[in-house]
Amino acid sequence: MPQKVALITGSGKQRIGWHVAHALGLIGYHLCIHYRTSALEAKQSAELLNNAGIEATIFQADLALESDVERMFHEIKAKFGRLDVLVNCASIWERKDILELSSNDVTRHFEANVLATFLPSRLAGLMMIAQSEGGNIITIGDWAQDRPYLGYSAYFATKGAIPTLTRSLAVELGSRNPKVRVNCILPGPVMLPLDLPLQERQEAINATLVRSEGSPKDLLICPCKNAKKLSTPLSCVLKVPQKIFHERYYFLFKVNLLRESNCLWMVVEPYGQMGDSLFHPEFSI
């Protein structure tokens, strides 16, 4: 069986994309490390992975330019002949008061957050449709799209489009090959910018259910001994005790589980709260 291949956009620098790539590399994927302008950091990241025994190759593209994206996918197909996973991590997050926001600011965010997700996902989907095994496409939104912070109108307007784009891609690609799956993750605060003012950082953290900043590990796929028992895809409701809120309550989460080898992609969204709840018979926390 040929080695599986994963493309992770925005993984040249050691931020979320790099951590996602590292996790996929640990379970045997050959990594396509993408960068736009950070050539030196991408080369260093690939060398770091290669030195750890993980196969990684760097690819350059401006994801808002269709010709660049087409060239990158042509290079990936020429080198590997397949693509099994695409994780869209490339994005921008810039603060600007709405009274000072220009159309150029909105356009830049649209290109970096929406177009740079759509173009790679479409071409990855076309490759995966032609594969009998299909493939997995992961998009990254933002949980705060429903509770936006002040000063990030351009960011949230564009990140808020990602869940809808995900559903559309899932329908379009899945109708052509049911084994092509598209899922969206809506993380909370993870690796906030170092130059973010302390007050804004704390406000973002306080707005989360658990009152803490997340880490890249919160977004990564994790081995699960019960993975072989689960159908793909699967929706279930899990019971998660949250004593930091109330000792007798459980918070319910709707979880979409996507099995890949012996690992799971998990897409979690709040489902409700009650005193009694149900476990899925094959999965528990």
What are 271-284's pLDDT values in tens digits? 333 333 333 333 33
pLDDT category of residue 214 using cuts at 50, 70 and 90: low
pLDDT in tens, 189-206: 666 666 667 777 777 777
Q: How far apart are CA 252 and CA 248, in angstroms?
A: 13
What are the backbone angles phi and psi of residue 146, rounded to the nearest 5°? -90, -15
Residue 14: per-residue pLDDT: 76
3-class SS shares of the chain: helix, strand, coil, % to 5: 35, 25, 40
* C-alpha torsion 144→6→59→161, nearest 10: -30
* Per-residue pLDDT tens digits for 106-117: 999 999 999 999
The answer to whether 238 touches 285, Cβ cutoff 8 Å, is yes
Q: What is the pLDDT of residues 128-145, one digit of tens each?
A: 999 999 999 999 998 878
Span of 44-53, 165-174, 217-226 with lowest mean pLDDT: 217-226
Is pTM beyond 0.85 here?
no
- Mind listing the pLDDT tens digit for each residue in 243-256? 333 333 333 344 44
Closest by CA position to 255, among listed 175, 163, 185, 166: 185
Cα→Cα distances 231→14, 45, 236, 243, 283, Å: 34, 35, 11, 31, 12
- Domains of the chain (ranges; CATH) run 5-216 (3.40.50.720), 227-285 (no CATH)
